[in-house]
Structure 1
Amino acid sequence: MLPSKHQGLRQNASSCLGEVMEQTHEFLQKGTLAFQRTNQALFLGGFASFSLLYVVQPLLPLFSQDFGITATQSSLALSVSTLTLALGMLVTGPLSDALGRKPMMLVALWSATLFSLLAPLMPTWEGLLLMRALSGLALSGLVAVAMSYLGEEMEPSHLGLAMGLYISGNSLGGMSGRLLSGFVVEVSSWMWALAIQALLAGLATLLFWCWLPSSKHFHARPWSIANVLGGLRLHLRDAGLPWLFAEAFLLMGSFVALFNYIGYRLLQPPYDWSPAWIGLLSLAYLSGTYSATKAGAMADRWGRQRVFWPSILIMLLGLGLTLSSQLWAILLGLLLYSYGFFAGHSLASSWVSSRAHQARGQASALYLFSYYLGSSVAGTLAGLFWQAGHWKGVVLFIAVLLIAALLIALRLSTLPQPQPNR
């Protein structure tokens, strides 16, 4: 056995590997260094993931010019990543139940950073799409697992706050990825925009590695088809989880539909905005960065049942304001809509983690699969309503989704809340 002073040195040397948690089996408590470092690490992990995912959105017209492709083909730079992300979560979630949470998330972030660095070096459009597809697939290893890690390691009374901080990192990452690439291409090329974002993600990943404590409450569940199917049956039989999966589909679908088509409206008279100004609409996500954390803290105090459904009412209020012809009302509506959406997503995410006592990785993956499926399906269907009725048609479509989400939220508020199975 090593002398005690050598043990101390070894513990200090391993702190960069995430061993900041006290060497006990206590859950992470608010006010401790481990709680702070964990939230900082997962905030950075979410930031890196979503900045890498959405960095290409302002670059799509440049891809069309440089590769001689249509706008529809150019949009594949984003859609191929979200598709592989959604599909990958069906595998990485259950896989993390067998291999562990932190190892899976680290492999995901380092791999996504590598593929993102390789993307601007690809000489062909097909090569760039391949790197984007691999990056989205890699990111599924963090996006599907982070919520499970929090659900296992956090003190239940602080889970809402921790989940809110993670979601706020997601929203800030998605916003900054769009903004940074827009600024970089003003002075350089889209290749440098992708490379700089990948390097920043690599720095965030290094800090994530150093700060995130290793799991203390993870219990491996051997991966097999039988276990995967057994976990699926378990989650679908739960009184609340299938409704939360439906909420993920409806909330994300409505959110993407709004921001996909509000730009078309503002490009037209009497607004006549430029595409650069349209990109700045992502600043509305800042209200979501605040609301995700605030809603989590409120849920810890009053319960998710009392906080979740009002977040959807706020989205409906914001949606209604966008019907105004006044620009200030439209922008206020976008702020309120983002506020309500990120609050609702934060609450639903933590709710999944608290209800799923077994195969948490799979439960989180199912929630997020529904989330990104809603993005793909509703984001496309809303285009039909735009063609039929322009902005009023899109608002009608989104309103139907939100009313369905509100009815489900009210049903969820009547369910007895299970006690944490620690």
Structure 2
Amino acid sequence: MSSDGLQPGSSPYRRLLLALFFVGVATFAQLYSPQGLLPLIAVDQDVSADQAALMVSMATLGLALGVIPWSYIGDAYGRKNAMVWAVALACLFAVLTVIMPTFPLALMMRFVEGFMLGGVPALAVAYLSEEVSPRAAAVAAGTYISGTTVGGLSGRILAAPVGDEIGWKPGMLAVTVLAVGCVVVFVLAAPRAQSFTPRRSSFKQAVGQLLGNLRSPGLRVIYLQGFLTMGGFVAMYNFMAFHLAEPPFGLPLGLISLIFLAYVAGTFSSPRAGALAARWGRKPVLIGGNVVMLCGVVCRWTCVIEGRFYSAR
């Protein structure tokens, strides 16, 4: 390996991208697997749409809270090892979720599952940044993000049709089986870290570094954007299934799940955005992405309003 990191085209570089792609699939397939099943969960557990949506929200909250502790663990014991443990434990808690006897206990398991899944986004980009040549880092990160979009899509697309036929619990278990297979690929494909140096700093130091990041105005803007865009994105998909399952649409879950095919756009745009950022800089690409996203939101609501109008007629 070059002292400048893994070079594009080399076998270890390709293996690393493959590994990160599949661990991204495993993570986000599990995170969002209940989303297409929420109407079934609401009926089966006798809860409201808002309460059913907590199956996604609790896992997302767990992931957000798990990022910092997992970053600390990865610094001390290695990125790859920490990611393997994180996603493997997440698979375990995914199984526990569907066998819990009550809805509140299932929510608790989803929270812990999300906490475990937080190890992957906490460490994946740091892992590739350490191992990959700087000039290829943006493209490599885009490949990992592509894996997350494929994961989010596959979790929903797989869970909803299975759930529609035999129940929401088998639907979520089917996604867990998929995730286990992806974890196996990650373990076998990921090359041994060559540039990692353990840093066993105290938890107090880790908290201090976090607070230092929060003092940066530029970073606070980025954090706020992530919070707002991700929150709106998840909420929109949480309730879209309820909306389409009710009159005047009345669509089955298997058909409703096809709306998640919009994820494919992210699969192709992520590596492209990385390449554009490497050429033009991150800020112009980020601004352009936001503009395109806002245009898409406007178009989506226009289509929904028109659809309701003509259905009512």
**TM-score bracket for the superposition, by shorter chain length:** 0.7 to 0.9
Could you say which residue in structure 1 is the equivalent of 2:220? 242
- Give the counterpart letter for 2:115 in structure 1: L
Query: Whole-Å Cα distance in 1 between the matches of residues 104 and 243 of structure 2?
Result: 32
Query: Whole-Å Cα distance in 2 between the matches of residues 329 and 69 of structure 1?
Result: 28
Q: Please state how far the C-alpha of 1:233 moved relative to its aligned partner.
A: 4.2
- How far does the alpha carbon of each residue in 1:51-109 deviate from its partner, in whole angstroms, 9 at most, with x for none? 11111112223233333333333222222211111111132122322222111101001
Aligned pair in 2 of structure 1 residues 250, 108: CA closer, same or farther (>3 Å)?
A: same
- Give the counterpart letter for 1:92 in structure 2: W
Query: Whole-Å Cα distance in 2 between the matches of residues 98 and 149 of structure 1?
Result: 13
Structure 1 runs not aligned, ≥5 long:
1-21, 331-422
Contact 1:52 1:201 survives alignment (8 Å): yes
Query: Equivalent residue of 1:324, what SS?
Result: helix
- TM-score normalised to structure 1 length: 0.66
Query: Whole-Å Cα distance in 2 between the matches of residues 323 and 69 of structure 1?
Result: 27
Contact 2:49 2:239 survives alignment (8 Å): no
Name which of 253, 257, 260 aligns with 1:282.
260
Task: Tell me how large the CA RMSD over aligned residues is.
Answer: 2.7
Query: Whole-Å Cα distance in 2 between the matches of residues 326 and 72 of structure 1?
Result: 21
Query: Whole-Å Cα distance in 1 between the matches of residues 242 and 170 of structure 2?
Result: 28
Q: Please state how far the C-alpha of 1:214 moved relative to its aligned partner.
A: 2.5
Name which of 275, 291, 309 aligns with 1:313.
291
- Give the counterpart letter for 1:181 in structure 2: A
Aligned pair in 2 of structure 1 residues 48, 325: CA closer, same or farther (>3 Å)?
A: closer
Query: Whole-Å Cα distance in 1 between the matches of residues 303 and 169 of structure 2?
Result: 38
Structure with more contact order per residue of length (Cα contacts < 8 Å, sep ≥ 6) = 2
- Give the counterpart letter for 2:117 in structure 1: L
Q: Please state how far the C-alpha of 1:234 moved relative to its aligned partner.
A: 3.8
Q: Please state how far the C-alpha of 1:115 moved relative to its aligned partner.
A: 1.6
Q: Please state how far the C-alpha of 1:33 moved relative to its aligned partner.
A: 0.9
Name which of 14, 18, 23 aligns with 1:36.
14
- Count of residue correspondences: 307
Contact 1:25 1:216 survives alignment (8 Å): no
Aligned pair in 2 of structure 1 residues 329, 317: CA closer, same or farther (>3 Å)?
A: farther
Query: Whole-Å Cα distance in 1 between the matches of residues 225 and 47 of structure 2?
Result: 36
Range 117-126 or range 85-94, more displaced: 117-126
Aligned pair in 2 of structure 1 residues 178, 308: CA closer, same or farther (>3 Å)?
A: same
Q: Does 1:300 align with 2:278?
A: yes
Query: Whole-Å Cα distance in 2 between the matches of residues 283 and 205 of structure 1?
Result: 23
Query: Whole-Å Cα distance in 1 between the matches of residues 278 and 287 of structure 2?
Result: 15
Contact 1:322 1:329 survives alignment (8 Å): no
Query: Equivalent residue of 1:322, what SS?
Result: helix
Q: Does 1:202 align with 2:180?
A: yes
- How far does the alpha carbon of each residue in 1:252-303 deviate from its partner, in whole angstroms, 9 at most, with x for none? 234335445656776688x625253443211111111100111112222333
Structure 2 runs not aligned, ≥5 long:
309-313
Could you say which residue in structure 2 is the equivalent of 1:375? none
Contact 1:117 1:199 survives alignment (8 Å): no
Q: Where in structure 1 do 4 or more consecutive aligned residues deviate above 6 Å?
A: 326-330
Name which of 49, 52, 57 aligns with 1:74.
52
Q: Please state how far the C-alpha of 1:42 moved relative to its aligned partner.
A: 0.7
Aligned pair in 2 of structure 1 residues 200, 268: CA closer, same or farther (>3 Å)?
A: closer
Query: Whole-Å Cα distance in 2 between the matches of residues 123 and 321 of structure 1?
Result: 42
- TM-score normalised to structure 2 length: 0.87
% of aligned pairs identical? 37
Aligned pair in 2 of structure 1 residues 310, 85: CA closer, same or farther (>3 Å)?
A: same
Contact 2:72 2:203 survives alignment (8 Å): no
**Max Rg structure:** 1
Query: Whole-Å Cα distance in 1 between the matches of residues 34 and 235 of structure 2?
Result: 18
Contact 1:25 1:217 survives alignment (8 Å): no
Aligned pair in 2 of structure 1 residues 256, 198: CA closer, same or farther (>3 Å)?
A: closer
Contact 2:128 2:137 survives alignment (8 Å): yes
Contact 1:112 1:136 survives alignment (8 Å): yes
Could you say which residue in structure 2 is the equivalent of 1:107? 85
- Give the counterpart letter for 1:167 in structure 2: I
Aligned pair in 2 of structure 1 residues 321, 66: CA closer, same or farther (>3 Å)?
A: closer
Query: Whole-Å Cα distance in 2 between the matches of residues 329 and 190 of structure 1?
Result: 28
Could you say which residue in structure 2 is the equivalent of 1:88? 66
Contact 2:39 2:242 survives alignment (8 Å): no
Query: Whole-Å Cα distance in 2 between the matches of residues 159 and 275 of structure 1?
Result: 42
Query: Whole-Å Cα distance in 1 between the matches of residues 108 and 238 of structure 2?
Result: 24
Range 208-217 or range 226-235, more displaced: 226-235
Could you say which residue in structure 2 is the equivalent of 1:256? 234
Could you say which residue in structure 2 is the equivalent of 1:350? none
Q: Please state how far the C-alpha of 1:226 moved relative to its aligned partner.
A: 3.0
Aligned pair in 2 of structure 1 residues 53, 260: CA closer, same or farther (>3 Å)?
A: closer
Contact 2:157 2:258 survives alignment (8 Å): yes
Could you say which residue in structure 2 is the equivalent of 1:145? 123
**1:41-80 counterparts in 2 under 5 A?**
41-80=19-58
Aligned pair in 2 of structure 1 residues 207, 287: CA closer, same or farther (>3 Å)?
A: same
Query: Whole-Å Cα distance in 1 between the matches of residues 103 and 232 of structure 2?
Result: 31
